[in-house]
A = this chain, B = another copy of it.
């Protein structure tokens, strides 16, 4: 049996949750991202465990197996390559591509993915600065850090975002924060951790800590 869209989506979401923690992933966390109820998640975890894609013990949370991670990385690769296609070739904005890529990531053809990769000139990152796994599932090491962690007075380049919700991306665009911009923190306000930020040498503007946490820079 071939893998289903539902299974692919679960694996991808477990992968995403695993990126930001070394703990086992909870049923509830998965339920929130898949937009399903916890009971449905439990069901699916049992099935995927039987298939050997995850290591799951009830009440103990779940982790991807090696096979599961490979599958997840392949879907992530497709998702991000298609996003590059949509932005670079089809002229979409970076806040418009997520839903379409969510569908395109399930297209099944290894040859197509390779040809697409070549057509796009083997991009290392997607339009949000996220790294694109190669054919073998290896991620390029990018060394990106959240803007919120950059010391005052040092300059860095905006190279990615830690989130790709449309509202967030649209806010960045409004603030003139786009990929490649030169950033320097001039001040951090102790009260709310908001940040005074110089963008491309212009007079500083104020952004929230929430934004600063989700903007990725390279020094």
Interface residues of A in 81-117 (CB under 8 A from B): 86, 89-92, 96, 99-100, 103-104, 106-109, 111-112, 115-116
Residue interface bits A171-199, CB-to-B below 8 A is 1, else 0: 00000000000000000000000000000
In the complex, which residues of chain B have a beta carbon less than 8 angstroms from the beta carbon of A115? 90-92
- Which residues of A, 107-147, contact B by the 8 Å Cβ criterion? 107-109, 111-112, 115-116, 119
Q: Are A109 and B119 in contact (CB under 8 A)?
A: no
In the bound complex, residues from chain B placing their C-beta under 8 Å from that of A104 are 107
Name the residue in A89, A106, A109, A111 with the highest tally of chain B Cβ atoms < 10 Å from its Cβ: A109
Task: Assess the B90–A116 pair: CB atoms within 8 A.
Answer: yes
Cα distance, A219 to B108, chains bound together (Å): 40
Count of chain copies: 2
Q: Smallest distance from the beta carbon of A100 to chain B beta carbons, Å? A: 5
CB distance from A117 to the nearest CB of B (A): 11
A108 to chain B, nearest CB (A): 7
The one of B86, B92, B103, B108 that contacts A108, using a Cβ cutoff of 8 Å = B103
Distance of A83 from chain B, by nearest CB (Å):
12
Complex Cα spacing A111 to B89, Å: 14
A–B complex contacts, Cβ < 8 Å, 13 sampled: A89-B119, A90-B112, A90-B115, A90-B116, A91-B115, A92-B115, A96-B111, A100-B107, A100-B109, A103-B107, A103-B108, A103-B109, A104-B107
Residue ranges of A at the interface with B (Cβ–Cβ < 8 Å) = 86, 89-92, 96, 99-100, 103-104, 106-109, 111-112, 115-116, 119
Given contacts A103-B108, A103-B109, 17 further A-B contacts (CB under 8 A): A86-B112, A89-B119, A90-B112, A90-B115, A90-B116, A90-B119, A91-B115, A92-B111, A92-B115, A96-B111, A99-B109, A100-B107, A100-B109, A100-B112, A103-B106, A103-B107, A104-B107
